[in-house]
Amino acid sequence: MPGLSLSPAVAPTPAALQQFVILARSTTGQGTIRLIQEVLSHKSIYVFGELLDVPSVKELADSSDTTAKGWYTVLELFAYGGTIEDYKGKSTSLPSLSPAQYRKLQLLTLRSLAAKSTNGDVPYADVIRALHLQHDNEVEEAAVEAMDAAILDCTLDPLHSTVRVGWVDGRDIPLQPESMANLAETLHHFLHHSKSVSRQITNPNETDDEVISKLAKLTKRLEAFRQSMDDHKRFVDEANSIKGVTDRQAPAPASSSGTATTSSRR
């Protein structure tokens, strides 16, 4: 199957989250906590980084109120790669999640699990363990919900008990030195792998810049080819459509039997 595709790390803030970000700028204390709870329950919000940047939300991190601080920690957990296992490991010091919030964290856990797959295949057993599920059908339900939420795309292979992932949305990345170091290391490995593949089919003495330039050109050529195929398909569809209209409007030819009958009557 094709390699796993990751969405860009930087994406526009979803409209639903943007509304809460605007509201958060005018809230304090309990109002901010309630807003965080609403965001974590919202069925359309799966990125949270911009909300964490709002001053009234940041203030909760240093609050003397353990509940307020707990909800800030939960929001960080949802935003920065936290999983069901992470939550359960801290559950004694964190507020309880509603069923909707717990389910969202399960889907976020699935997203992280899928993103870590090197070949796009995630065994059902791994999903059951990571999401704290019981049965295979629960894995399939979670995968379908994740696709409905547009945080990943996959196909289910019940015969081999495998989720085959084609695309995964990225989670928020905290702008901290250790996080940026991890990101830099990931990009370094990606570049090294790309160079290795390229040099297997081109010149092993090429520089990094030459390899990157060739990869960029190849990507553009593939995109142009895809566009050409789309244009060709559209042309064929239009031609078939016109032919269908023409066929419907053309008069039906007179039958040979009808002509013979008319002649005999004369």
Q: Where are the domains of the chain?
A: 14-80, 96-172, 176-228
Structure tokens at 216: 């960029």
Q: 264 pLDDT band (50/70/90 cuts)?
A: very low
Percentage of the residues of the chain whose pLDDT score is greater than 70: 60
| Average pLDDT score over the chain | 79
- Region 13-41: what's the mean pLDDT? 91
CA 187 and chain centroid, separation:
19
- pLDDT class for 7, splitting at 50, 70, 90? very low
- The angle subtended at Cα 127 by Cα 126 and Cα 132, nearest 5°, is 105
Report, as an integer, the average pLDDT of 187-212: 59
| CA atoms of 249 and 254, how far apart (whole Å) | 15
pLDDT at residue 42 above 60? yes
Tell me, what's the pLDDT at 247? 60
In whole angstroms, what is the distance from residue 76 CA to residue 13 CA? 17
Q: Please say if the pLDDT value at position 246 is more than 70.
A: no
pLDDT of residue 92: 87
Residue keyed to tokens 């899928």 = 114
Report the candidate in 119, 113, 180 with the shortest Cα–Cα distance to residue 151. Answer: 113
Which tens digits make up the pLDDT trace of 201-226?
A: 556 666 667 767 777 776 766 666 66
pLDDT bucket at 151, cuts 50 / 70 / 90: very high
CB-CB contact of 143 with 95 (8 Å):
no
Write down the pLDDT at residue 259: 44
* First-to-last C-alpha distance (Å) of the chain: 72
Banded model confidence at residue 22, pLDDT cuts 50, 70, 90: very high
Distance CA 85, CA 220 (A): 41
* Range with top average pLDDT, 106-120, 125-139, 208-222, 230-244: 125-139
Distance, CA of 140 to CA of 124 (rounded, Å)? 9
Please give the C-alpha separations between residue 40 and each of 2, 31, 120, 192, in angstroms, as whole numbers: 33, 14, 28, 38
Which of 17-21, 190-194, 209-213, 248-252 has the lowest average pLDDT? 190-194
What would the CATH number be for the domain defined by 96-172?
1.10.10
pLDDT band for position 113 (50/70/90)?
Answer: very high
CB 102 within 8 A of CB 77: no
